[in-house]
Structure 1
Amino acid sequence: MLEAKTNLEKLFVVLDESAELLKEELDVTYLEALAEAGENFFQGEVVQDLTSSTKKQLEQRLQQVDVESLHKEEVRKALQLAVLKGMKEATQPNHALTPDTVAVFISYLVNKVTSKMKDVTIGDPAVGTGNLLTAVMNGLPKKSKSYGLEADETLLHLAFVSANLQQQEIELYHQDSIRPLSLAPVDVMISDLPIGYYPNDDIAANYELKAKEGRSFVHHLMIEKSLELTKENGYLIFLIPNFLFESDQAPALNAYLKEKSIILGLLQLPQTMFKNAQSGKSILILQKKGPDAIQPRQALLAEMPSFSRQDALADMLKQIDRWFKEELNLS
């Protein structure tokens, strides 16, 4: 066993070893086994029907870490490391994790837009493993409730285990968020938007942002659904591809956003975070129109410096803080 020094490393090692044992015994993928391992740590016992030797090895690992005594962020990051390992063997293109620095930065932005709210409700229409949503919730100093939707059963199981281990109150739905659903609107909608085409043309036909011809973009439909599920004056913070406003369907998206929301900001993430220019991303910040929505004199438009350049990043955060205070009266 590796010599683990920090709580985060200790938890990662026992989760990883437990997942490998379960993967072998149950003949499942690493990610499925990781969800099962997480379930054991939450229940405090081995819940699967296994051979006595595997069960004994898993029970030994359960005794090595007291998850309840750990900080929520230690638990989230340990799970994130294990999920990243599992993603490398997964072949599905949508199995990708929001980079940790980006998740924490989105948490900072959510703190900004909710600074005057007493408690906060948050939604994520493509919650995945719950990494972004729990990072945001862990960063909030006030009470928050949230929900997440996810069509992939393995990712949803991981999100469920992750929320339980971090003791966060999240309602999770095994559902494609483009289909009809009735959920209470939230104060803030966040998402690392999945990119691609939506396969069901009949359901897409009910959306204003459906394609005039051929398949509709799932990311456009998800933006429309998210606005529908956000309270008046509420906020939406999305991780989007840099090419979002360059496609042949972009004019319709632009017109729709101007009609339903105020575009508060667009922050381009450093290119060094991505393999190539085509995979570059930005953070889009919107406010849904309502009686108290504020139209800033100028939108927050910036190219973020590398997150490893501490001085440049600190300077950028000062500028962003000033913008929120001067333009939106938010501290």
Structure 2
Amino acid sequence: MLFVKELEIKMQTYYDKLSQAVMLLQKALKTSYTDALAEALTDLANGEVYVENGAPDQDTVEKLKVIYDELKEINLSQTEMKQAITVNIISAQKLDKTEVNKLVTPDTIGLITSLIAYEILNAENVKNFNLVDPTIGTGNLLIEFVEQLKLAGDFKINIAGIDNDDISLGLAKAFTEVMNLNLSAYHQDGIADWQFTDVDMAIADLPVGYYPIDENASRFETKADEGHSYAHHLLIEQTMNSLNENGVGIFVVPSQIFQTDQAKKLSQWMVQNVYLQAVLDLPGNLFASKEAQKAVVILQKHGTKAQQSAKVLMGTIPNTNDPKLFEGFKNQVQDWAKKTFKG
């Protein structure tokens, strides 16, 4: 208990000191809290205070140097430091009144999706692969996913992220740098043609809503017959089209995705172009209401090593706080992966 209390104090201290640095930068740079947080994380990753056109001023620079030195003295593991930074991001989003689609994805979802990916990669006998998050946001899901995979096995992962919001993307880039991850960040519309190729796996918590640019949507099979198309449908199609043969897409989507007015177009596209390997509702305790409930959908691109699962993995993922039920779920995933994915 004493160790736990000491850890809580260290993490709280890290959070508080990082917050102090962010507030200093926000005032000096006259920017949003989120932008200031990205700046502070970049400073920490680079080991120096970045100054441009005299901002921040020298007095602020000296104060920041003291805080950054104090932060470096706090001995946190990678996992603990990530948790402390994530809380800072959540605070930033509250202060900046960030829209719902851009809010941090809970760590639990990163843990669950990484567990599924681990079993798939093991079944495929893959240790080195290229990973993308086409809607990276703050980077929390991608970082948690990668960190959990690295804890579970000896993987070499090249990571890329796409976002059309430069503030979110800047924060994601800074966050990954502090975590010693080398992110290739692309500021673009994820539904437009990607600026890179050679991607083996995708992980994404997809934003939900209508895509406003009908001209861009017109080239997709999942487009609506009339009116605006669902952005998450287009993103699924674009992502799967952009993966290598046999590539796997792990998507966090609304649980009702196959029951909407545009579900038929999505289903028709899936039947022709990908293998639907799993549909799993996430634990209900992660969401404020039934309407907000999300699921994990796992798709595989056609290829010489790809095959349709004899039995699509379906059901509700148990609460991670119930060890017995969750262990049973892990065994079920392992069995499904061995039968579905080939090395």
Normalised-by-shorter TM-score class: over 0.9
Give the distance between the partners of 1:169 and 1:24, measured in 2 at CA. Answer: 29
Alignment of 1:69-218 (within 5 A): 71-89=77-95, 90-115=97-122, 116-138=125-147, 139-140=149-150, 141-218=154-231
Q: Which residue of 2 aligns with 1:55?
A: 61
Q: Which residue of 2 aligns with 1:21?
A: 24
Cα offset for 1:92?
2.2
Equivalent in 263, 272, 288 of residue 275 of structure 1:
288
Q: Which residue of 1 aligns with 2:46?
A: 43
Q: 1:107 to 1:68 in 2, by over 3 A?
A: farther
- 1:68–1:165 CA contact under 8 A, matched in 2: no
Q: What SS does the aligned partner of 1:233 have?
A: coil
Q: What SS does the aligned partner of 2:48 have?
A: coil
Alignment of 1:250-289 (within 5 A): 250-289=263-302
Q: Which residue of 2 aligns with 1:12?
A: 15
- 2:306–2:341 CA contact under 8 A, matched in 1: no
Instruction: Give the number of the structure whose residues are more often helix, by fraction.
Output: 2
| TM-score of the pair, normalised by structure 1 | 0.93
The one-letter amino acid of 1:124's match is: D
1:310 is the counterpart of 2:319: no
Q: Kindly indicate whether structure 1 or structure 2 has the higher relative contact order, using CA contacts under 8 Å at least 6 residues apart.
A: 2
Cα offset for 1:41?
0.7
- 2:35–2:167 CA contact under 8 A, matched in 1: yes
Cα offset for 1:223?
0.5
- 2:120–2:338 CA contact under 8 A, matched in 1: no
Deviates more, 1:216-225 or 1:177-186: 177-186
Cα offset for 1:72?
3.2
The unaligned stretches of length 5 or more in structure 1 are none
Give the distance between the partners of 2:294 and 2:258, measured in 1 at CA. Answer: 12
Cα offset for 1:81?
1.0
Give the distance between the partners of 2:93 and 2:101, measured in 1 at CA. Answer: 10
- 2:102–2:207 CA contact under 8 A, matched in 1: no
Cα offset for 1:266?
1.0
Q: 1:149 to 1:83 in 2, by over 3 A?
A: same
The one-letter amino acid of 2:213's match is: N
Equivalent in 22, 30, 45 of residue 33 of structure 2:
30
Q: What SS does the aligned partner of 2:17 have?
A: helix
- Taking only the aligned residue pairs, the percentage that are identical comes to 30
- 2:45–2:178 CA contact under 8 A, matched in 1: yes
- 1:148–1:172 CA contact under 8 A, matched in 2: yes
- 2:248–2:300 CA contact under 8 A, matched in 1: yes
- 1:67–1:75 CA contact under 8 A, matched in 2: no
Give the distance between the partners of 2:193 and 2:337, measured in 1 at CA. Answer: 35
Cα offset for 1:259?
1.1
Cα offset for 1:45?
1.8
State how many pairs are aligned.
Answer: 328
Give the distance between the partners of 2:167 and 2:258, measured in 1 at CA. Answer: 32
1:320 is the counterpart of 2:333: yes
- 2:281–2:316 CA contact under 8 A, matched in 1: yes
Cα offset for 1:11?
3.1
